[in-house]
């Protein structure tokens, strides 16, 4: 699962960046290509500013499941 930062909620405390093992958080944004989906940043964010990306992949997953 990938995550994103809701900028309006983020107070730029920097905690998420400290715990990210992939150095995927840069300038208040999660670089999707780097994010491993470990969820560590979500746990440390006291402001619930990090949420799963509402992935467009979902629309890919369902059709392929139905095709079987
Ligand atoms: S831990 Fe939450 S509030 Fe702090 S910088 Fe990261 S997203 Fe923003
Ligand atoms: S989910 Fe893990 S890898 Fe992705 S930004 Fe958060 S801490 Fe970094």
3-state secondary structure 20-60: CCCCCEECCEECCCCCCCCCHHHHHCCCCCEEECCCCHHHH
- The answer to whether the CB of 42 is under 6 A from ligand 1 is no
What's the pLDDT at 62?
52
Segment 33-63, tens digit of pLDDT: 999 999 999 999 999 999 999 865 555 555 5
Asked if 30 and 24 touch (Cβ cutoff 8 Å), the reply is yes
pLDDT at residue 37, rounded to an integer: 95
| Percent residues over pLDDT 70 in the chain | 79
Domain housing 55 = 3-66
Is the Cα torsion angle 31, 32, 34, 38 positive or negative in sign?
positive
Total count of domains within the chain? 1
Ligand 2 touching residue 35 (CB < 6 A) = yes
What's the whole-model pTM score? 0.81
Q: What confidence score (pLDDT) does residue 54 get?
A: 81
The CATH code of the domain that includes 41 is: 3.30.70.20
């Amino acid at each position: 699962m990938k995550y994103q930062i809701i900028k309006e909620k983020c107070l730029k405390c920097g905690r998420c960046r400290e715990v990210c093992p992939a150095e995927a958080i840069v300038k208040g944004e999660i670089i999707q290509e780097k994010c491993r989906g470990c969820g560590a940043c979500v746990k440390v964010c006291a402001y619930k500013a990090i949420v799963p990306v509402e992935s467009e992949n979902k629309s890919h997953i369902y059709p392929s499941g139905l095709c079987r």
